[in-house]
Structure 1
Amino acid sequence: MIHPIIQTWDKSEDCWLWEGITCDKSLNLSRNYFQYPNISFGFNRWKSLTYLNLSDSGFMDGSPLLDEISLLSKLVSLDLSLNFIWKLVDPLLLDNIKFQMLVHNLKELRFLILDSVNMSLVLPSSLLNLTSSLEYLSLHDYLQNNYLTRPIDHVEKPSLFLQEVYFSNNEISGSIPSSFFDLVHLTRVDLSSNNLTGTITLDMLSKLVDLEDLDLSNNCLLSLSNNGIAVNYSFPNLWSLKFSSCNVHKFPSFLRKAKRLNALDISKKKISGQIHKWEIERMSLQTLNLSYNFLTGIDLFGFGNLRIVDLKSNLLQGSLPFLSTTWASMLFFISRNNLTGEIPSSYCNTSLKVLVLANNRLGGKILECLGSLSDLNILDLQMNKFHGRIPNLFVNNCFLLTLNLNGNQLEGILPRSLVNCSMLEILDVGNNNLNDTFPHWLGVLPSLKLRIIDVAQNDFMGLLPSNYFKILEGMRDVAPTDKVKLEYIDDNMECFSGSGSCTVFTDSYKDSVKVVMKGLLVELTRILKVFTTIDFSSNQFHGPIPDELGELNSLLSLNLSHNSLNGQILSSLGKLAELESLDLSSNKLEGRIPEQLTKLTFLSVLNLSHDELVGHILEGKQFNTFSNDSYVGNSGLCGFPLTKKCEEPRPPSSQFDGENDFIAVFEWKFALAGYGCGLVLGLSLGYIAFTTRKPWWVVKKVEKYQ
């Protein structure tokens, strides 16, 4: 039965005139699909509208929407960001004329969001010369669509209200004009990742009396001067300063007076020598990033406020710094230096969540008291000289996500207390001297979240038990990158409320493991959750390959080479639909290569050499791309690409369904000398980076679906 009030509604009237209907002045139509170019949506009738969100809606340049919006003179907030559909609809394009027509009547506009809108034909200064009421202006370019390329010209009418400006990830060139700093009420400025040049002086910055957050990172030729008549200015409100990858050669001494400074990032510069305690002791720092410099010493420990310290990739020498038991730091990165000695026992009395000491020359035994760090999420000691047994340090309530001990001199067995770490996603103990049976005892867990397991180059032995592979839930049914939000393994880390530490953490720590992948020893950093790999190579495993391996349908790399595995290659491996690299070489595998492997349409590296395989080499699809090296050392194999011809005709083969488009999860890049302005080949958009560790100069680069 229809309610009596509803029966009074007249369809010929506007709905806000109906009894029982109330309307506010806000309209959120984000995440729709307004691709129809000639349809009027009637926005021009809503004269009192103050808030309009049309973000992520894919409307096209010819749509009358922009003309209608320009008539909404009461608008206070307008969001047109992310208006494109990947590979279907190009980003919304606003040239100078369209932009001026859009905003000329919006005199009360306070918030304007145009992230990832194509603004390549608009002068940045025209954006800053908008209505005097504007407070918030955002043109972040998350997917390289804005392409602001021109310099910021003179700001003619500095707004008395503009507080936040975000122009990051564009291609703005030239110097920042002094008139920009006449926007005296700016509190947050983000001009990072552009092509800015010139010098910013203290006199310029001191005009921004309300400045809280300044990000000028990744502008290679932009300099910061300590000189000027405002040399004694205290920056009373400055809370965060990011000047990474800019042209700075020494510690900015003027920051000593910035007592409220909470987060400081001056990484990837050319700062050398030593930083002394007195240079930063008056600040309220919780986050300090000095990574990728040329520092030889630093005296900063004992500060109770520090929670994140990143000193990786410097020239630090000597012993590890002492950590006070009262020190509040929770994330500590000091990898890739020249440190020696042992881990001080004082580290066991801190509240560390992350301890990254990788790629130094540290030695001695791993402290068993590290087990008292009940909140520890990441322990990365790879590529050092630690020896002895891995202590039984994994407590009942283990919250460890990453354990990386690769490349040391550890011996003995894996500690059985590791079974307590049910949240573990990366287990890397490769390249040690461990002597143990297969860790089948992990099979007592109902499920494992492991996505990367590497026990290569040790002395593990025994069968590969099927019950273990049954519980590897982290390698099964992981959605591909085109269906899920990109997530990284370290995203499970907690953030520090109100400290801005989430962003700094993702910049500071990138899970790093070395795996043999596609014929190379490769270092993986910032690992996507869709990346899954098993490396059991160079041990003494024997027996057949478990059929359950074929159920790990999200596995991307499988390396069982250089063991004593026997039996046949299982046809169930053909179900590993995402597999890109398969290495079963140097075992005792026999029989024919199963035809089901031709289903592996992503497979780009195959190594079946030095086994006891017989029969015809498979043809078609990916198998037409493999070379002689994939099959050498199998006297019973014949056919292309081997020179040995087959005496018997090839048996008839069944046809599998058509090929998939090649969508890979990887981007390969060479890490050459330098960062920021240095030479980098194959620069990715930041999803995942691989750095080669052997002198191969040709690495297959595969297209990544963004």
Structure 2
Amino acid sequence: MMIPSQSYSFNGIVVITLYFISLFSFFLHTLASPTVHRCRHDQRDALLEFKHEFPGADMNFGRFDNMRSWNKSSDCCSWESVTCDAKYGQVISLYLLGANLNNTLKPNSGLFKLQYLQNLTLSGCNHSGEIPFTLGTLSHLTYLDLSFNKLVGQVPSTIGNLTKLRYLSLSINHLSGKSSVSFANLTKLIQLDITENDFEPELIPDMSRFHNLEEFWGGNFFGPFPTSLFTIPSLRWVNLGDSNNNFTGHIDFGNSSLPSRLFYLSLADNNFDGPIPESISKFLNLKILDLRNNSFSGPFPTFLFKIPSLQWVTLARNNFKGPIDFGNTWPSSSSLISLYLADNNFDGQIPESISQFLKLGTLDISNNKLQGNVPGCLLRLSSLQLSHNSFSGFGKSSQVLDQAQMQVLRLESNSFQGPFPHWICQFRSLEFLDLSNNSFSGSIPLCLRNITYSLEVLNLRNNNFSGILPDVFLNATRLYTLDVSRNRLEGKLPKTLINCTSMGLLNVEGNKFKETFPSWLGSMPYLYILILRANQFYGPLYHLHESTWFQHLKVIDVSHNDFTGSFPAFYFSNWLQMTTLNLEIDVVYYEYSIIWDDYGYHNFRPYTSSMEIVHKGVDTEFDKIRQDFTSIDFSSNKFYGKIPESIGLLKGLRFLNLSGNAFTSDIPQSLANLTNLEALDLSHNQLSGQIPRDLGELSFLSTMNFAHNNLEGPIPRGTQFQRQNCSSFMDNPKLYGLDDICRKTHVPNPRPQELEKLSEPEEEQVINWTSAAIAYGPGVFCGLVIGHIFISHKQEWLMEKFRRNKPRVVIRSAR
């Protein structure tokens, strides 16, 4: 029997023994294991050599300061953008996204001494020159991303040595050569993105060799449909759209009976024609189908809607025709969320069977030949676009209005008539409402106050609404565009408009509003476009007590009213938005856009409202408009006195019309400072003196009109004057030098800044600033608003490229 003291002694010995055993084991393990995160000297030296090849590497800041932590005094495995193998200290990953290194990659670069690299990302680094042939020595690479650079020349054949490569992105460069030669050996690829390059237009003839391929993006190719691509059973994602492809002919998905994993297919923006083959129905996992902007034809493809997983479909801008027929697809099509059928030749009525798509949130069937009543079930959608058809009414909708979540409702250019649809006032989430170009009549209801707090666009243009514009804008702080032009409204503008602190465009043209100039609108901080044309406004524009005056205006049209009075010399000095030259702004045309966000698929169709001008008394319509349009139209009023010298401060001004008033004295010499001016109309006034010679030096000034004044002296000899029509100088008895101008027909040569470029080529047009400004408004501001509504969930442009788990379905505006 063991006594207690002996027991304690024994236990202590056991504990001490176990402690030393554990400690000894720890040291053995430490000695046996390599140092974690200690990189090899040759790897560190190679990285530093690579860094020193780019003198600006230390000058990057913020999120792109990838190399600032690289120095000899620290472990390279702890450096930013560097990942090492924990066991051997070899550099296996280099991630320099957006580093802006701004140089060429050299064949003897330190980069190619990192022989253990598995992942290499140099995307958005502003690299130029050719891809070095020594890239092929990095034989362990499985991931290579050189996208968003300025690389040129052919892809080196040595890239075929990278046989372990599973991800390759060379998109958005200027690479050339044959893709079939460059990538033929990379048969283990899972993802391949070669969009937006200059490769020869023949796609790899036999894509089936990439038997592991899951995702493919191809650009700048043309020819027949690549059928072999769709025989790859692992294929999940194919994007042959939006990247300057020009495939032609019929599409054929082959005869493979293997199960398909394909869930994303874009063939947009090609020249495919003929019907969609029913064999597309074999892609039972297909969720996203984008076939817009082709020449597909034939009847409505009912079989598409038997694909059970289909969520997002666009067939827009094709040549489909006939009635829309979904057939009896229940319950297979219950997944459908978004459907775009715009810009085809569908006719008849929307079938009631559309009600089977219980998850449908977005429908765009604009620009077809549809008619009749709109099924009431569609009022439960979040976005409904029915414009440019012949719809005349709505079916029963009482059961769906209580749950309505409508955000976008576009009914413009149809055959609707009768009173304002009061059920619209139940859409408490409505952001965009367009009822323009219909035959609605009666008063605008007060119930609009229920939805103006969420509205950003309200367009009631060109209807038969009468009475006053109701006082419904008390809480309309988000309203950006209000267009009630071409109705029969009267009275005064409601003072609650002052609460519209986001207002960018206000158009009340062509009504019977009668009051003095609403100078209180000048306190709106973002008002860019103000159209009061063709009403019964009266009195002066200038008031002595006003210290600020519409500093953000880019377009103002007060023509065809009863305004009167004169202007002080400094009148235009506060018009700051027009004093800036927009030299960096390209001509922008708003186009059809589709955007994916975290909550689903959205479509927006920014306004492409035509711009109406009057040319020699004939209404002329332009289909496209410029974003940087600036205009002043004070014509057909009763203004008098001198034209203010401060007009010369508005160097961004493109169109100026002061005709049909009683301005006197000389034409201001300061007009020659308007270097962006394209058209000038001073006709039908009482101006005297000579025409300023320096106006002929304005290179963009293509149209001038000085007729019906009291001008005298010679017509300047400048080229711009000699191009004008004889009628531009008529009825100035003391003006001479007309012989050369009136002896022959002068047609102004087209110039880059002229508005003719926005319409049909070689078409002689003279700008009427009035109508131009009216149409400019919806085009620019509504486009911006809808972009704001739907882009709020859009990822950053670089991140969109790399987050391949989300589809990149963005169609850029044409430039």
- Category of TM-score, reference length = shorter chain: 0.7 to 0.9
**The 10-residue stretch of structure 1 (364-373 or 588-597) with the greater mean CA deviation from structure 2:** 364-373
1:624 Cα shift? Answer: 2.8
SS at match of 2:465: strand
Cα drift, residue 567 of structure 1? 2.2
Aligned to 2:572: 469
How far apart, in 2, do the equivalents of 1:266 and 1:376 lie? 26
Q: What is the aligned counterpart of 1:139 among 240, 255, 279?
A: 240
8 Å CA contact 1:628–1:642 kept in 2: the answer is no
Is 1:121 the counterpart of 2:212 in the alignment?
no
Task: State how far apart, in whole Å, the 1-side matches of 2:47 and 2:170 are.
Answer: 31
Match of 2:362 among 246, 263, 266: 263
Name the aligned partner's letter for residue 123 of structure 2.
Answer: L
Q: Match for residue 488 of structure 2?
A: 385
Distance in 1, matches of 2:742 and 2:301, equals 73
* 2:261 maps to which of 158, 161, 168: 161
**Is 1:285 aligned to 2:406, yes or no?**
no
Q: Give the 3 Å change call, closer, same or farther, for CA 457–253 of structure 1 in structure 2.
A: same
**Which structure has more helix as a fraction of its residues?**
2
The residue identity in structure 1 corresponding to 2:362 is A
Residue 131 of structure 2 is aligned to residue 29 of structure 1 = no
Q: 1:12 to 1:581 in 2, by over 3 A?
A: closer
Answer yes or no: is the 8 Å Cα contact 2:490–2:513 preserved in 1: yes
Whether 1:405 and 2:498 are equivalent positions in the alignment is: no
- For residue 327 of structure 1, what is the aligned residue in structure 2? 427
Change (3 A) 1:124 1:532: farther
Moved more, 411-420 or 264-273: 411-420
Other-structure match for 1:110: 214
2:34 match: none
Q: Aligned match of 2:147 in 54, 59, 84?
A: 54
Residue 358 of structure 1 contacts residue 382 of structure 1 at CA under 8 Å; is this kept in 2? yes
Rounded Cα–Cα distance in structure 2 between residues aligned with 1:70 and 1:151: 36
Any stretches of 5+ residues in structure 2 without a counterpart?
1-38, 52-74, 84-92, 95-118, 177-194, 744-748, 765-770, 776-812
Query: In 2, Cα distance between the equivalents of 1:69 and 1:445?
Result: 68
The aligned counterpart of 1:415 is 518
Q: CA deviation at 1:355?
A: 1.3
Deviates more, 1:569-578 or 1:403-412: 569-578
For the pair shown, which has the larger CA radius of gyration, 1 or 2?
A: 2
Q: TM-score, normalised by structure 2?
A: 0.70
Cα 1:412–1:12 change in 2 (3 A) is closer
Q: Distance between the aligned counterparts of 1:93 and 1:496, measured in 2? A: 30
Q: Distance in 2 between matches of 1:596 and 1:182?
A: 71
Which position in structure 1 is the counterpart of 2:284? 184
SS at match of 2:447: helix
Q: Of 508, 531, 534, which residue of structure 1 is paired with 2:629?
A: 531
CA gap of 1:354–1:73, structure 2 versus 1, over 3 A, is: same
Equivalent position of 1:570 in the other structure: 668
For each residue in 1:510-539, what CA deviation from the matched residue of structure 2 results, as whole angstroms up to 9, or x when unmatched? 567756689865667775431111111111
Contact residue 374 and residue 395 of structure 1 kept, 8 A:
no
The CA deviation at 1:64 is 2.6
Identity %: 25
Counterpart in the other structure of 2:72: none
* 8 A contact 2:408–2:433 mirrored in 1: yes
Deviation at 1:543, TM superposition (A): 1.9
- Tell me by how many angstroms 1:268 deviates: 1.2
What SS does structure 2 have at the residue aligned with 1:375?
Answer: coil
> Closer, same or farther in 2 for the Cα pair 1:93/1:12, shift >3 Å?
closer
Q: SS of 1:394's equivalent? A: helix
Q: Calculate the TM-score normalised by the size of structure 1.
A: 0.80
Q: Which residue is equivalent to 2:412?
A: 312
What does the per-residue CA deviation read over 1:213-260, in whole Å, with 9 as the maximum and x for residues that have no partner? 1010111235565265x4434522211000012232220433211111
Distance in 1 (alpha carbons) for counterparts of 2:773 and 2:759? 6
* 1:436-515 equivalences in 2 (<5 Å): 436-439=539-542, 444-445=547-548, 448-480=551-583, 486=588, 498=599, 503-504=603-604, 507=605, 509-510=607-608
Match of 2:680 in 1: 582
Secondary structure of residue in 1 paired with 2:497: coil
Displacement of 1:552 after TM fit?
Answer: 1.6
- The answer to whether the 8 A contact 2:139-2:162 is kept is no
Specify the alignment match of 1:612 in structure 2. Answer: 710
Q: How many pairs does the alignment contain?
A: 640
Give the RMSD, CA atoms, in angstroms.
4.1
SS at match of 1:172: strand
Q: Is 1:556–2:654 an aligned residue pair?
A: yes
Question: What is the one-letter code of the residue matched to 2:687?
Answer: L
Whether 1:359 and 2:462 are equivalent positions in the alignment is yes
1:226-265 to structure 2, matched below 5 A, reads 226=325, 228=327, 230-233=328-331, 235-249=333-347, 250-265=349-364
Stretch moving more, 260-269 or 67-76: 67-76
Pairing 1:542–2:640 present: yes
Q: How many angstroms apart in 1 are the aligned matches of 2:582 and 2:469?
A: 37
Deviation at 1:360, TM superposition (A): 0.9
Tell me the distance in 2 between the aligned counterparts of 1:665 and 1:452. Answer: 15
Question: How far did residue 440 of structure 1 move?
Answer: 5.1
- Whole-angstrom distance in 2 between the partners of 1:65 and 1:446: 62
C-alpha displacement of 1:41: 6.9
Looking at structure 1, the residues matched to 591 and 253 of structure 2 have their Cα atoms a distance apart, in angstroms, of 45
Which SS does the other structure have where 1:226 is aligned? coil
Q: Name the structure 2 match of 1:686.
A: none
Take 1:119 and 1:489, find their aligned partners in 2: how far apart are those partners? Answer: 23
Partner of 2:391: 295
- Provide closer, same or farther for how the CA distance between residues 597 and 43 of structure 1 changes in structure 2, counting only shifts above 3 A: farther
> SS in structure 2 opposite 1:427?
strand
Alignment of 1:661-680 (within 5 A): 662-664=752-754, 667-669=757-759
Contact (CA 8 Å) 1:317, 1:337: kept in 2 or not? yes
Q: Residues 198 and 221 of structure 1 are in contact (CA less than 8 Å); yes or no, is this contact kept in structure 2?
A: yes
Out of 273, 276, 283, the residue aligned to residue 372 of structure 2 is: 273
CA contact (8 A) 1:95 1:122 kept: no
Q: Is the CA contact (8 Å cut-off) linking 1:198 and 1:222 kept in structure 2?
A: yes
Residues 574 and 514 (structure 1 numbering): CA distance in 2 closer, same or farther, change over 3 Å?
Answer: same
1:310 Cα deviation from its structure 2 partner: 0.6
Residues 135 and 161 of structure 1 are in contact (CA less than 8 Å); yes or no, is this contact kept in structure 2?
A: yes
Q: Rate the CA distance shift 1:370–1:396 in 2: closer, same or farther, 3 A.
A: closer
Contact 2:431 2:456 in 1 (8 A): yes
Alignment CA distance shift 1:153-1:411 (3 Å): same
CA distance in 2, matches of 1:382, 1:12: 65
| CA distance 1:97–1:172, change in 2 (3 Å) | closer
Following superposition, the deviation at residue 30 of structure 1 comes to 4.2
2:659 counterpart letter in structure 1: S
CA contact under 8 A between 2:385 and 2:410: conserved in structure 1? yes
Deviation at 1:332, TM superposition (A): 1.0
Shift of 1:98: 5.0
Helix, strand or coil at the partner of 1:149: strand
| Contact residue 313 and residue 336 of structure 1 kept, 8 A | yes
The alpha-carbon deviation at position 585 of structure 1 amounts to 0.9
- Change in CA separation of 1:555 and 1:136 when aligned onto 2, cut-off 3 Å: farther
For 2:670, what is the secondary structure of its paired residue?
Answer: helix
Post-superposition Cα deviations, 1:540-568, rounded to whole Å, max 9, x if no partner, equal 11222222222222211111111111222
Distance of aligned partners of 1:423 and 1:32 in 2 relative to their CA distance in 1, 3 Å threshold: same
Change (3 A) 1:258 1:333: same
Q: Distance between the aligned counterparts of 2:678 and 2:655, measured in 1?
A: 6
Alpha carbons 1:50, 1:74 under 8 Å: kept: yes
